[in-house]
Amino acid sequence: MPLRYDLVPMDRSHLEGVLAIERTCFHPPWSEQVFVDALCNDAVSLIAAQAGDGRVLGYAALSVVLDEGSLDKIAVDPACRRQGVGEELLKVFLRFGRAHLAFLTLEVRAGNAAAIGLYEKLGFRQAGRRKNYYPQEHEDALLMTAQFPRIGVD
């Protein structure tokens, strides 16, 4: 049976679930204060995948400066992976990007084949490599970019 959830703007009510996923997926994780600050920042958009019972299944964060976007976070509860949650979260920001941005960038662990495959499927291409970006794991980051056509720009 497919997961049932809604994509909603993240608010403080989602923090407990977001922080649980954050601690599971990222080392070191963002703190609660970083998320609270992001919720108050007009240049940051946060969305959550929320089940009918209010449980957070995943979340994503996008920062925008002028016409440039940066996908700062995207994570899905490990129990809910490979069910389309991450893809749907990312598609929200890609739709926004096509309408308002020149490009959208992200960093991903060079060894995270599943995430890289999803990003490539959705139009991201490798634009660079950051050596030893994740020093605790001695792992590089791939810089990936999705470019959007600028209609009416000379």
Q: Which residues of 54-65 are buried (b: 16+ CB within 10 A; e: fewer)?
A: eebbbbbbbebe
Q: Which of 119, 120, 137, 139 is catalytic?
A: 119
Answer whether 43's CB lies under 8 Å from 35's CB: no
Residue 119 designated active-site: yes
Q: Which of 5, 87, 107, 120 is catalytic?
A: 107
Furthest-apart CA pair in the chain: how many Å? 49
Q: Which residue intervals of 56-138 are DSSP H helices?
A: 85-100, 113-121
The SS3 of residue 95 is: helix
Q: How far apart are CA 148 and CA 29, in angstroms?
A: 30
Q: Which residues are catalytic?
A: 107, 119
